Amino acid sequence: MSLIPADNHMAVMAALFAIAGVGFLAERTRIGAHLTGAVIAILGAILASNLKIIPHSAPAYGFVFSYIVPVLIPLFLFQADLKRLVFETGRTTLAFLLATTGTVAGVVVAASFLDLGGLASGAAIAPESREAAIAGLFASTYIGGSVNYAALGEITGLSRDASFFSAATAADNLFSAVYLGLLALLPGWRWLASRYPHQDHSEFEASTHSSSPTAMSLTLGLAAATVIVATCDAVVAWLGAPDWRYVAITVVTLVLATAIPNLADRLAGSFEVGIGLSFLFFAAIAAGADVVAMIEVAPMLTLLVLVLLSIHALVTFGLGSLLRLSLPELITASNAAVLGATTAPALAATRGWNSLVTPGVLVGVLGYALGTFIGTAIFKLWS
């Protein structure tokens, strides 16, 4: 039970908007400027949900994930410049492959040194396969996000153990939200930033501010974004390929942005609306982090995820430095691997890395494809 009931949809949405607003306001303070509004929104939502002010799960969060998140992609991409896309995507793809390698290495190390066989005792799988199933599950979720997590839950049979799966979901939500906050903080760490080559990732900044937003441009921007999403949803449903949703939205928006060079001016303010809604998205993700449930049910999962994400970060940012990749590219790739194709462009946009918005979407979609495949391979081979 929470102060705001899960079925009070308006109150839950009001709380999310309030948390997002506090993030923007706190960013104007000296401490907030270092933390960034995104981190403050994430930490605020974790605190509010674990103090029972807002629920950990609510239909309003599902509304954010199902309807607001896909609209963010067109809002961010209306100003996309394809002239640098191939170059930027190639480097970010390399960074994403490093992140994937880091996840696999983290899973192998964690599963080798921790006794995971006692977990998931209620799952409909053989005892000798439980460790392999857990390794495959967490490998998949930290290569492409929650889409792969759900798929591996079914493939391994872990989703049929309600006690374990709820604890695993809590651990995944909590550490994903905390990791997202840490990624948002990294650019402000001067010692770390100095270890990576500087590269300007704000090439689109002029275009996003070249025209002042008006009521008409904001309305048209939201109209265009929702029409694109609705059309793409209808097409992928007709083709029977729902996993291609974000690919379709990205491709259609890029085609329009390329075919209509002054589209960003006509839809002035769309980028800024997307940033505002992304804070709402961050708050909705973080609200699902149930610390008590995770600690009470399966503390071993805490060690598993800590080891996995630590090695993931060491491989990604360590090898990335040797390969002379920039810190924003590595952060975007790591974000896409751990949380998927939605948070990567959102964080890139809020940090002003506008040329990494499109690559963030694309490598996140690549993670959807690789995560289930690699997670299943680990499960089968380890078994």
Please state which of the ranges 11-15, 22-26, 36-40, 106-110 shows the lowest mean pLDDT.
36-40
Between the alpha carbon of residue 168 and those of residues 45, 247, 295, the distances in Å are 20, 28, 10
Report DSSP state, residue 95.
Answer: H
In this structure, the number of other CB atoms found within 10 A of the CB of residue 116 comes to: 22
- Taking the alpha carbons at both ends of the chain, their separation in whole angstroms is 40
Which two tokens mark 149? 């997590």
Residue with tokens 């040194």: 113
| Backbone phi and psi for residue 52, each to the nearest 5 degrees, phi listed first | 65, 25
CA–CA separation, 108 and 116 (whole Å)? 12
Check residue 206 and give its pLDDT: 42
Report DSSP state, residue 67.
Answer: I
Half-sphere exposure (Cβ direction) of 322: Cα atoms closer than 13 Å: 6
Question: What predicted TM-score, i.e. pTM, was given to this entire model?
Answer: 0.69
By CB atoms closer than 10 A (0-12, 13-18, 19+), residue 70 is buried
Q: What is the pLDDT of residues 116-153, one digit of tens each?
A: 766 655 555 666 678 888 888 899 889 977 667 766 77
Q: How confident is the model at residue 205 (pLDDT cuts 50, 70, 90)?
A: very low
CA–CA separation, 271 and 278 (whole Å)? 11
- In the chain, where are the structural domains located? 9-382
DSSP 26-52: HTTSHHHHHH-HHHHHHHHHHHHHHTT
Check residue 126 and give its pLDDT: 65
